[in-house]
Structure 1
Amino acid sequence: VKIGRFGPVIQIGTADDEEKPRFSQLKKGLSLETITLEEALDVFKLPRTLGEFEDKTVIAGIGPFGPYIKHNAKYVSIPKDIDPLTVSLEDAINLINNKRKAEAQKLLKTFAEDSELQILNGRYGPYIAYKGNNYKIPKIMVPKDLELQAVMEIINKQNEKGTTPKRGRYTAKKK
């Protein structure tokens, strides 16, 4: 354990060894003075394989945005109350299924006439996604009942308004 450029780090191996030394940051709650050898070695157990789910490997690890589960090239965040070192395959499967349910609830409606046109449920309410742009749905309308013609009217009306002009950057004038 030593102090690195970005804080305390754990190192396995030395620069003189044939194999390159491995480094890892100290987990939250551990300090340089109180860390034991077992706690230091636990950090290097990640990423760890939990097992198989739907013929794909399930992996638990810690990334730059916190602990995660990886399955089928998709990532699911692990809540703070679950430790990635002790998470079980059953817990991981529950987290994966919960994320799938949340993603399924996001899509409200699609149109067969235009595959790029979707009505989605977002953080700030329902909206229309069309060709990479998002359009808000007026609150008086029910998103699931909208037909193609009504959706296109909303898109055209909001395109006519246009976007607000961007403010230029001004430099301070010298006196």
Structure 2
Amino acid sequence: MSEKQKMLAGDMYQPADPELMRLRQHCRLTLETFNRTSHAEPDKRADILRSLFGTTGNHLYVESVFSCDYGENIHVGENFYANFGCVILDVAEVRVGDNCMLAPQVGIYTASHPLDPVARNSGREFAKPIRFGDNCWIGGMAVINPGVTLGKNVVVASGSVVTKSFGDNLVLAGNPARVIKRIESRP
């Protein structure tokens, strides 16, 4: 298996692999262009994101400054919005449903490192995918950790750190995030 295949499979991989380094360099150059493109050119900005992301809906808007590792592992649905300072470490796949909003400075981190210091110092790492159902709203400065799946209609309060998966129709808050309210769904 290539290092990229290992990475996407969630296995330990070497991020210094030349192919992965080229892909990250391409992403960073594309992000430089995106982050310098005027907000007076929303169609151009959206086209840059469509060329970078794996898949998108027709309507998406991301404020600058936006950062990610590869871009191609990010899949967003219709009406995706990310506010200022969003960081998505898309070492593994990030799948976001329709009508999802990210407040300022949200961090979505699929990347992880071994707990053992000898293994960690080897430079190898691994990743776990992250998924959001439709209609999720992630509050400012919230962090979504590797391997988390959020169901539909989930609201994550500002400053929360989500370390495990949750089902539908919930408000989450805290560090680590926990359910503070259930949302009554409408027919």
TM-score, normalization by structure 2: 0.22
Greater radius of gyration (CA): 1
Higher RCO (CA-CA < 8 Å; seq separation 6+): 2
The structure in which a higher percent of residues are strand is 1
